[in-house]
């Protein structure tokens, strides 16, 4: 049983096209009736539009196998007046969900990702937080890859704001326990029985933003080098023994060819 990341795992960060073996891996899971969930931190497109994008690329993924933070946002953020920071597409999607943009006295600061954050935006976020606004991240991705370069992810920005203000923050998507439990519940519905995390293997290119969190819940982690990190030495030596992945693979094709059906 699998949780599967998208960017850097199923599609590449540069062109947003399928990585070698990714379509075939999903086809294998479908043909074998293997339970799985595609768990992505997509926030730029509506959930239905991003799923359609993946389907148009050739991924045979349906609604019951897909989860992103936008699908659980209203369960996590019931405050209506919020200051939203991220790409224009992200702001438009969240605004369409019934939230009111408030850049004067917001009750919460909601952070997505974009490449061009400015010091002025950080200053505004800090001011709102110090005035009592809750800090909420759509996810806690460690790095953001864009145009072949790597930038601080939402998780890094949240940590910076926490250090600057002394506030705590909450997470909507990965690697929050609530998000992974929602994905596990959807996985359980596929087999009509309760599933434990120990039965799940997650495949992702993000150790801090994905794998460590789900491994702490008992799942196994497969770290692929097809996304944010080009070498395991860029990240694994900085992790503790308990944080190490179960397996490291070049990409999902190597995992599919070498380890599917083998207990890891």
Mean pLDDT over 169-193 rounds to 97
What is the structure's pLDDT at 262?
A: 64
Note the pLDDT of residue 116.
Answer: 87
For residue 263, name the pLDDT band (cuts at 50, 70, 90).
Answer: low
pLDDT score recorded for residue 230: 87
Report percent pLDDT > 90 for the chain.
Answer: 90
- Does the pLDDT at position 87 exceed 80? yes
Q: How confident is the model at residue 147 (pLDDT cuts 50, 70, 90)?
A: confident
User: Strand order in 100-101's β-sheet?
Assistant: 100-101, 81-85, 108-111, 134-137, 169-171
How do residues 118-137 score in pLDDT, each as one tens digit?
A: 999 999 999 999 999 999 99
- Confidence category of residue 32, pLDDT binned at 50, 70, 90: very high
Report how far residue 232's alpha carbon sits from residue 178's, in angstroms, rounded to the nearest whole number: 28
Average pLDDT over residues 206-214: 96
Mean pLDDT of 212-230: 96
Q: Which domains does the chain have, with CATH numbers?
A: 2-71+175-258 (3.40.50.1000), 73-171 (3.40.50.1000)
Residue range 150-173: mean pLDDT, rounded? 96
User: For position 258, what pLDDT does the model report?
Assistant: 86
Task: Identify the band that residue 96 occupies on the pLDDT scale cut at 50, 70 and 90.
Answer: very high
Q: What pTM does this model have?
A: 0.94
């Amino acid at each position: 049983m699998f949780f599967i990341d998208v960017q850097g795992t199923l599609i590449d960060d540069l062109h947003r096209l399928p990585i070698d073996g990714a379509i075939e891996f999903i086809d294998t899971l479908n043909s074998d009736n293997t339970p799985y969930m595609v768990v992505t931190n997509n926030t730029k497109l509506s959930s239905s539009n991003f799923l359609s994008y993946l389907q148009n690329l050739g991924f045979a993924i349906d609604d019951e196998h897909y989860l992103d933070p936008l699908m659980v946002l209203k369960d996590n953020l019931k405050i209506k007046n919020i200051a939203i920071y991220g790409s224009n597409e992200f702001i438009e999607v969240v605004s369409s969900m019934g939230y009111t943009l408030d850049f004067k006295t917001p009750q919460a600061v909601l952070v997505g990702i974009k490449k061009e954050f400015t010091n002025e935006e950080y200053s505004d976020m800090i001011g709102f937080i110090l005035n009592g606004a809750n800090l909420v991240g759509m996810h806690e991705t460690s790095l953001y890859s864009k145009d072949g370069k790597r930038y601080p992810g939402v998780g890094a920005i949240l940590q910076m704001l926490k250090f600057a203000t002394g506030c705590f923050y909450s997470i909507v998507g990965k690697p929050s326990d609530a998000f992974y439990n929602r994905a596990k519940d959807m996985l359980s519905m596929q087999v009509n029985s309760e599933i434990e995390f120990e039965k799940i293997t997650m495949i992702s290119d993000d150790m801090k933003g994905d794998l460590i969190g789900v491994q702490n819940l008992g799942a196994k982690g497969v770290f692929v080098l097809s996304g944010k990190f080009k070498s395991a030495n860029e990240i694994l030596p900085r992790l503790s023994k308990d944080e190490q992945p179960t397996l490291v693979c070049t990409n999902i094709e190597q995992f599919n060819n070498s380890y599917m059906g083998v207990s890891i």
